Structure 1
Amino acid sequence: MSSYYVTKIVQDKYGFLWVGTQEGLNLFDGIRFRIFSGESVEKHNIGGSFIGDLVEDRKRSLLWVVTSYGDVCAINLATRIVEKKISHDGEGKKFSEKWIRCLQLQGDILWICGLNTISAYNVEEDRFLDTGPLLQTMAAQGECNIAKMVRDNSNRMWLFSEGYGVVVIGEDLKPVRSFNEAQFSSPTQQKLLFREAIVNGDAVYTATSRGLFVFNSGKKNNAPFFTKGNMPGLSHQPEIRALVFTGPSTLLFSTPSRVYSFDTGVKKITEIEDENPDNTGLRSVFQMHYDSLSGKIWAGSQSGLSAFTLEESAFQAFSKSRVSSTKIKHLYGVLPVSDREVYAGDENGVYWIDTHTREIVRMDTSSGNFMLFGDAAKNIFLSNLSGLHLVRNKKLIAAHKVFPELHRLESDLLSSGLQYNDSLILFASAIQKGLYVWNSQSRLLTTFHGDSARHAIPGLSIINYLFRGAGPDVFVLTEKSVVRFNPVTGVHSVHKIGSPSSKENFNLMDMCETDRSYWFATYGAGLVETDKDLNPKGFITVKQGLSNNCIYRVFNYNDRSVIATSNNGLSIINTGNYDVDKYFKADGLHGSAFEQLCGYTLNGKIYAGGADGFTIIDPVYLSVNRSAPALYMQNIRIETQAGAVDTCNLAIREIVVPNNVLQTTLNFSALNYRNPRRVSYQYRIDELGDEWIDIGNQDFVNLIGLRPGTYRFQVRASNEEGIRTEPLELTMTYLPKWYQTIWFRLLLLLSGGLVIYGIQLYRIGQIKKQQQIRREIANDLHDDIGSTLNSLKIFAHLAQHDADNKEHVLQIESSVSTATVSLRDMIWVLDDDQDSLYELMERIKKFALPVCMVNSINLVTSVDAASGMLVSKKAKRNLLLIAKESVNNAIKYAACQNIRVTLIQTKNLLTLKVEDDGRGFNIGTLVPGKGLASIRYRAGQIAFKCDIISIPGKGTTIELSGKG
């Protein structure tokens, strides 16, 4: 909380508490505070810190706030944002220059009053009404210093002005009735100060520095009818600081040092006392608020915020003496001897407690005080590390000095005692020395032990406790078994109770009996229910709702419930439906940790303790909180790389999450002021699964990595009894990134389709190219090979008829050679391994070099293939034929000495250049033929540019360039 000095408490329509202090306004949900002040961020900035007054505007879902010498602000109750600030009054004067003390609503009119200030602001019309005449009237008759205001059930405003008195204002803003200060007291008394004013029916109750005044607001002639003088039951008329009604006739009021309950019907006053003398929450209380749902009264003082209830509590805790500094640290045993008197054994002392005055006296400093037992003769036995004692007159004396036959028990440490009948008393050893049966009339002590020759009970070990039910048998509970024993006859039987799965015997700490069952407390295995023959019927553990599996003492309550103490909390099991209710220190127990032997019953009440004291438990007042918490979505925080955005709206049901989100945090609040720290939460996201995820009392969920889409987030809360709220649902729409959108996916599919279509088109084009190449090759083969074979046929025929002519044989040889070369060229073109420029140049050289050498022509070749690109089959074939044609023409017609063939391949261009230094020719006068037309035709077939440059006397250059 922002400050310990509380000035105002208001509970809004949602159930949240707004606590004004001298250092800011605090929004409280039972667990944590959110602070509004002049130092807060803009949306929570109220312009000042010292809260003068608060008033809820339910019609507009606003909380009006005024700070001393500050603005009047309106906070939206759903979004918690400061929506409006009123800085000036109707005359244009700043509120920050005035002492504004109180606010009140009269329909749509917000009254803003203080020292020499009366303003009436119409909220709906956003304008101030004329209150000048009213202010002038009050100022003329006395000091106008309005400290408190209240609206009665007739919609009239009551203005309480210190130095003037009381003025009642009608709906027309005109005075209906007034009371001056002289009517309340004599002039000799100190100035009358108004502390609080509340309405109850037709009465207006007013807390003042001179006591309580009550006005009848339903009568025309109003007058205070509370009798002056001493209040009933009080020695003097005290100053009253705070008032609150908790019922039609139950008025709580505070004085500078006390809080009282006042029955306005019978005029009876009762002081309300805090059980813990160290608490100061009920001292100097300035504000009180009653929450009818939880039954709690919230008290604000100069020491902070506290809460208490007038309901009769089932728990009365004792830890520290009210009249001294004596404090119980850790109890091992407790024994009530009457409703008022209790003895307790601590680790370092023995205590006497008066439960009425809450006085605790340490009467002995002995240590290890275990068993406390009272017999029928009202003897009180105490067993500790120094032996067995009797408690008499708040002092310890050795038991054997009164009962010599108990001398044997001096060296033992007892765990339990039991009065069997008017003469037999049983004592149990905690250190394996057996079971003692003492006849207090015959003064005979008998020991039963596992190794005893005359009184043997097999398996008798460490005895945890003794119990007697409705029958004649005593149940001896040990760490390994339960012994059913009749101390009169000595008849006994040993029974094992263990786990049905592991066959391990339970360590039995205690037991109790109901009408149909026995209930065994175990250490580590929870609670075991058996039939009357000790056959297990059921097992109850933490899985079924127990607060802890280490159970110490169990008590039957009216055959309807079993009350169990444990290492951590108190569990109450319904014997009918096995529902479990749990209670802890926060519920009013002395603490949550109980001790093994520290439990006793007297007159229907249970006395149980452990660390930090003991508690008197009255099961009659055990109430169950059947009200589910009020659940709200408190805050939504969306974190992105650009920063974080907080959204607060109690009514929010859907939200859009941007596509650059890193983490979404959902905060929720479940209002359960009866036991706020026992609220537990579960959540689920429908789209991710149907199972509820238990997150305990964690009131937030972090969501990371959710894919784009719409999700239904559901959360529900449970109170300490497991009563659940209906699920609260929030629809979250996670926006996709650009590459996760539908249009992008469609575009991706379309692009993929186009790529596949393009690949298919490319494949078809390649197939067509291959077919075209095959067709051209087939045509070439048909033309070349066909003509060659036809020539062979002719020359062969001529050779048959003219055998002496060798020319025919030479012609046949030439034709075969030509056909062979053509076939090899075609095979080379089709070979995929021969598609580089180097292979093309090698093929050209294979043709050109022999013919150049024969004609004494120097052949020079060069290749520049830096890009390493391959040459298509079509280009390879045509470039080879062009090169052959060009070299052929140079040899036949150019009369050259040198021929240079160059292949150059750049990134996007392939160039073939054939140069000679022959006679050249004039392009313009060239006679058709000589293969130039064929060169241009083949260049066109592969989309190459063909340049033929020839100058007479300077040679010829044929250059082709294009994409290979």
Structure 2
Amino acid sequence: MNTFSLMNRVALYYFITICSTSFGYDATNNSTVPTKLTALKAKQGLSHNNVTALVQDKYDILWVGTEDGLNMYDGNSITSFQDNSEKKLTFNSIRTLELDPLMNKVWIGTNGSLEFYDYERDNFYREHITSNLNTIEDVCKILWDDDLNKIVGVSNQGVFRESKNGYRLISKETSQINSIEKMDNLLFVATESGVSLYDLILNQSIQQYQFDDLNGKQIKVLEAFDHSLYLGTAQGEIYRYEDHQLVRLADIGHSIKTITKDQKGNIWVGSESNGAMILTQGEELQHQKILNKKISSKTINTIYVGNDNIVWLGSFGNGLLQCNLNDPFYTIAEGEGNELGLKNGSVTSILNDDEKIWIGTDGGGLHHVDLQMMSTKVFLPSKSILSLKEVNGILWAGTYKDGLYFSRDKKNFQKLKLFDDQGNTIEKEVVWDILVDNTTYLWMATSNGILKYNLNTKELNRYNYQVDNPNSLSNNDCRKVFKDIKGDIWIGTFHGLNRYRKESDDFKRLYFNNKEEDNMNINNAILSIYEDDKLNFWVGTFGKGLWRLNRQEDLFEVEEINTALPSLFIYSIESSEGNNLWLSTNKGITVYNTKTNTILNYNAADGLQGPQFNVGASAKLSGKYLAFGGTNGVNIFNPNKVLNTSVKPLRPIIKNIIVHSSKVPFNTKKVIYKNHLILSPEERNFSFEYVAVDFRQNHKLEYQTRLLGFDNHWQTTKSNSSILYSNFSPGEYTFQVRARYPHQEWGAIQSFKLQLLPYFYERLEFKLFCTLLLLIMGVFVYRWTIKKMDRNKMKMEGIINERLNVLISEEQLLSDIENQKADLIKETLDKREKELTTHALRLLHLNSLIEQLDEKLLHLQQNPEEFTINKIKSIRRDIKNAENLEKEWEVLNQLFAEVNQPFIKELQELNKGLTDGNLRLCYLIRLNMSTKDIASIMGISINSVKVARKRLRKRLDLSSDVSLNDFILNLGK
């Protein structure tokens, strides 16, 4: 390509994909590639910051060799191994790492031994090369021949080849061996004095004149890629041996430490004290130095290209550095010299300038970044540039407390020295934002109102808040001035939104709740304004989130997504195709899709300069790129690239099972290379540790887990990479886990079978034995119970018979007593009946006596002449005998009540209002007295007795067919 557009240039920065683009490298042209590197150091868990070797296994786990131990890194955690670890290495200083092509092993060359890690046995083992087991074997590199026999280079001892009987020395070098490499059945040996060759088929050393020029040179590195061999020297020279030709590629002046090749064919070179660089193949060799302050002058011990085209750099003293070639975000940050860096990392304003970018910083001045020439020029040094705008070829720059500057040639800047219509100078103004209106007016949002500058007449007007004028600005602290598609000018202040009314030269105030009295610092503080291509009018606030303005009714509508935003401080707003709004905040950048009402959040872990962005620091660049400035630089990216970043299929690995028991609280069992495990009965509480290896977006992964045999439903988590289970019954279970990126399909399921052994008392055999024993005991208890019941039955029968006899005797005694009592009662009743009869007869006699007395008196009355003293005495004797008549009735009543209690009770229950005469008649009828006797006893005539009987029947409500005598005689029976 002969041309280089902004899109291609920025794409180069993002991905560091150095394609066939013209970047000549020589002593006078030091091309650089700005690169973002993520460091992993000892404070993150690495065993040492001097990284010496790297390899990635088939599980995507990265093995990191250091000066002091070996590390396993899965993107989520680091496990370290040293000579004092539970799983020990013999020596800690790692020289080289290689994967076994045949067996599931990682081979480790240290400064004293050849060792390997066995995945199946989860341990390290040493393999001796020489017969002397006490020999220090400084292994510099490990290879395999075509028969998969190992070839091991040992410094100061030679090159050894594996055979059936151990290792055989095939090349004894007199100089120290730095590296070995195999290509086309030839073994190349790099030494301190050149390169020697060995034919692996002929098993003999050979000479090739092409390498004669290297005699006496210290060859540090040998690496073969396909049919090309790359050599690096201690003097900084890089050679390529290809098609029997040895070509010198470059001389960087620093010792070469490592050479590797990426997936695009670019050659990466690590040097001593000069960082890393890239060689690319085009019409001619291209050479660019990696620009990053982490490695610019550091030693790079090893470079390894892993999966997903991630380039890993092992540095001396700066840990492990990750260079993601697919990173969609590129950061221009603080740098030194003429390199593509900023004098101050806090970016406060951005302006597109064709294939260049103007970047204003907080105290570092204005930077003109040339993306094609890889250069930066600084203007207005030490100034804080808050706003930028170009009008008719003139660049305007608003500062913090230093007014407004302008440049006609974009090289020389002048300060605008004017007074406003109120007589105030603007030389110390804080200019937050600049807007051009029809190339005539320049509007400026300041901390002291709005300035309107007429570019033609040079007239400068200031608009301020006025207490008594509701049509003035709502607040003097203005942060944003914006012009919509209709030409209306909008001003965002720290207390409401204002629309400029040109016809009346004043403002209409708008508040979120239509209340001017709302809290000024939160409820109505506006930081950003934006109008998208659908003519939606958006307002970003200071702590109240994102709002949409209904311009027909001048009313604000709050967005539902505010509850899901990571931050409610919206510093700047940009848009991209597909209905996406890009919001910079103090917690990264949020993408809001206004059509689907969904959001995506990006932070420093995704490649942003940091979490904190600055107010108004954003711009649309050429080629649909966006730029946002923050406290640690500016991020430039293609929004479509960010949203459509390719993701690899995810298949998690189950790393460990941690068993929690009373004996060992945390017993970790590594199961990454297994698919099943048996746990003892005591190991009922356990947790699984799992991870989907992703070194770029590990923080965004979502997981689902379930334990078949317990619960078939998936449990979702967005952060945890472990899950705890406790108190499970014995049996077989299958743990399953899967992962995905946000809004993607779930990946493949990883399964692990787990068998929980039962206690002896939970085993089927024990349960059957116990059941049989219980049955036997049941039969025994049954038979014993039957016999005991029979004995008890006989005993109870005797007791019952004995007690029955006693009861019979007692009952007989009671019966006799009752009989005696009945006889006594009967005898008493008979006596009382006799007495009753006697009294009744006496009453009859007394009544008869009274009748006789009455007759005597009647006779004397008729025959007075017969009146004598003796007759008087006789009548007196009769009267005395008749005086006790009423007493006799009382005795009769008492005796009758004693003898006829049931009769008296039932007669009283009839409650018929019976008189004493009625009762006496009832008693006499009850005593079977005749009518004559009743008349005589009662002293009345027989007819009177009949009348009395009729009255009694009436009182007793007896019908005519009921006999009065029968009724009274049956009463009380």
TM-score normalised by structure 1 residue count: 0.66
Q: Secondary structure at the match of 1:596?
A: strand
421, 424, 447: which one aligns with 1:407: 424
Q: 1:521 aligns with which of 540, 550, 572?
A: 540
| Aligned position for 1:148 | 179
Q: Which amino acid aligns with 1:319?
A: E
Closer/same/farther in 2, CA of residues 616 and 487 from structure 1, 3 Å limit: farther
Deviation at 1:362, TM superposition (A): 9.2
Aligned mate of 1:34, from 63, 68, 79: 79
Higher relative contact order (CA 8 A, sep 6+): 2
| Alignment partners' CA distance in 2, 1:789 and 1:728 | 89
Structure 2 unmatched ranges of 5 or more: 1-45, 814-973
Match of 1:921 in 2: none
Whether the 8 Å contact between 1:568 and 1:592 is mirrored in structure 2 is: yes
SS in 2 for 1:772: helix
Note the 1:371-450 alignment, pairs <5 A.
375-376=391-392, 378=394, 380-382=396-398, 384=400, 386=401, 388-390=403-405, 399-401=416-418, 407=424, 415-428=432-445, 433=449, 435-445=450-460
Q: Residues 560 and 575 of structure 1 are in contact (CA less than 8 Å); yes or no, is this contact kept in structure 2?
A: yes
Residue in 2 that maps onto 1:101? 140
Q: Does 1:260 align with 2:277?
A: yes
Question: Is the 1:527–1:540 Cα contact (8 Å) retained in structure 2?
Answer: no
On the 8 A contact 2:343/2:365 being kept in 1, the answer is no
What per-residue deviation string (whole Å, max 9, x for no partner) do you get for residues 860-903 of structure 1?
xxxxxxxxxxxxxxxxxxxxxxxxxxxxxxxxxxxxxxxxxxxx
SS of aligned partner of 2:751: strand
Q: Which ranges in structure 1 are unaligned for 5 or more consecutive residues?
A: 792-964
Q: Does 1:179 align with 2:199?
A: no
1:18 to 47, 60, 63: 63
> Structure 1's 601 and 739: CA in aligned 2 closer, same or farther, altered over 3 A?
same
> Is contact 1:639-1:663 (8 Å) kept?
yes
Equivalent residue, structure 2, for 1:637 = 658
Equivalent pair of 1:450/1:457 in contact (CA under 8 Å): yes
How many Å apart are 1:429 and its aligned residue?
Answer: 5.0
Aligned to 1:673: 695
Change over 3 Å in CA distance of 1:764–1:488 after alignment to 2: farther
**Aligned pairs for 1:427-826 within 5 A:** 427-428=444-445, 433=449, 435-445=450-460, 456=471, 463-477=478-492, 482-485=497-500, 487=502, 508-518=526-536, 519-524=538-543, 526-528=545-547, 539=559, 541=561, 546-558=565-577, 561-574=580-593, 577=596, 580-603=599-622, 605-617=625-637, 619=639, 622=642, 624-629=645-650, 631-643=652-664, 644-661=666-683, 663-686=685-708, 692-693=714-715, 695-719=717-741, 724-741=746-763, 771-777=793-799, 779-780=801-802
Matched residue SS, 2:291 = coil
Q: 1:716 to 1:511 in 2, by over 3 A?
A: farther
Query: 1:713 aligns to what SS in structure 2?
Result: strand
Q: Is the 8 A contact 1:683 1:713 kept in 2?
A: yes
Q: 1:102 corresponds to which letter in structure 2?
A: K
Distance 2:797 2:698 in 1: 92
Are the aligned partners of 1:582 and 1:720 in contact in 2 as well (CA < 8 Å)? Answer: no
Equivalence for 2:50:
5
Please give the secondary structure, in 2, of the residue aligned with 1:775. Answer: helix
Distance 1:403 1:525, change over 3 A: closer
Residues 1:355 and 2:369 are matched in the alignment: yes
Instruction: Give me the whole-angstrom Cα distance separating, in 1, the residues matched to 2:773 and 2:558.
Output: 68
Q: What's 1:75 paired with?
A: 117
Contact map agreement 2:298 2:315 (CA 8 A) in 1:
no
1:20-50, Cα deviation, whole Å (9 max, x unpaired): 2332222222344323333333xx3232122
Q: CA deviation at 1:659?
A: 2.1
Q: Give the conservation status (yes or no) of the 8 Å contact 1:281–1:305.
A: no
The 1:212/1:602 distance shift into structure 2, 3 A limit, reads closer
Structure 1 residue 319, shift from structure 2 partner = 3.1
Alignment of 1:339-350 (within 5 A): 340=356, 342=358, 344=360, 346=362, 349=363
For residue 245 of structure 2, what is the amino acid of its counterpart? P
1:289: Cα distance to partner? 1.0
State the AA in 2 paired with 1:75. Answer: Y
1:73 Cα shift? 1.9
Is 2:188–2:196's contact at 8 Å kept on the other side of the alignment?
yes
d(CA) in 2 for partners of 1:478, 1:60: 69
Residue number among 195, 210, 233 corresponding to 2:220 in the alignment: 195
Rg: which structure is higher? 2
The corresponding residue for 1:795 is none
Whether the 8 Å contact between 1:144 and 1:161 is mirrored in structure 2 is yes
Contact 1:69 / 1:95 at 8 angstroms: preserved in 2? Answer: no
In structure 1, which of residues 242, 249, 254 is the aligned counterpart of residue 258 of structure 2? 242
SS in 1 for 2:797: helix
Q: Distance in 1 between matches of 2:51 and 2:768?
A: 63
- Please report how far the alpha carbon of residue 700 of structure 1 lies from its aligned counterpart in structure 2 after TM superposition: 2.9
Note if contact 1:516-1:532 (Cα within 8 Å) is conserved in structure 2: no
Q: What is the CA–CA distance in structure 2 between the aligned matches of 1:583 and 1:370, rounded to whole Å?
A: 24
* Residue 770 of structure 1: how far off its partner (Å): 5.8
Q: Is residue 196 of structure 2 the alignment partner of residue 166 of structure 1? A: yes
C-alpha distance 452-744 of structure 1, shift in aligned 2 (>3 A): same
Quick check: 1:341–1:352 contact (8 Å CA) kept in 2?
no
Distance 1:247 1:783 in 2: 114
How far off is 1:628 after superposition? 4.3
Count residues in correspondence.
749
2:159 maps to 1:118: yes
Distance verdict in 2 for CA 1:2–1:378, change over 3 Å: same
Indicate the percent of aligned positions where both proteins have the same amino acid. 14
User: Deviation of residue 60 (structure 1)?
Assistant: 0.8
Residue 289 of structure 1, aligned match among 293, 298, 304:
304
**Structure 1 residues 569 and 662, CA gap change in structure 2 (3 angstroms):** same
Structure 1 contact 322–358 (Cα < 8 Å) conserved = no
Please point out which of 81, 91, 95 is paired with 1:48: 91
Q: Which amino acid aligns with 2:673?
A: A
Q: Match for 1:225: what amino acid?
A: L
Structure 2 residue corresponding to 1:212, chosen from 238, 245, 256: 238
Cα distance in 1 between the residues matched to 2:297 and 2:646: 25
Query: Does 2:128 match 1:87?
Result: yes
* In structure 1, C-alpha distance between the alignment counterparts of 2:120 and 2:382, rounded to whole Å: 59
Distance between the aligned counterparts of 1:541 and 1:789, measured in 2? Answer: 96
Q: For 2:463 and 2:389, how far apart are their aligned partners in 1?
A: 20
SS across alignment from 1:355: strand
Rate the CA distance shift 1:757–1:454 in 2: closer, same or farther, 3 A: same
Structure 2 SS opposite 1:586: helix
Q: Per the alignment, do residues 362 and 397 of structure 1 end up closer, same or farther by CA in structure 2, a change over 3 Å counting?
A: closer
**Partner Cα distance (2:387, 2:264) in 1:** 49
Equivalent position to 1:64, from 107, 112, 126: 107
Tell me, what secondary structure is at the counterpart of 1:776? helix
Residue 783 of structure 1 and its aligned partner are, at CA, apart by: 8.1
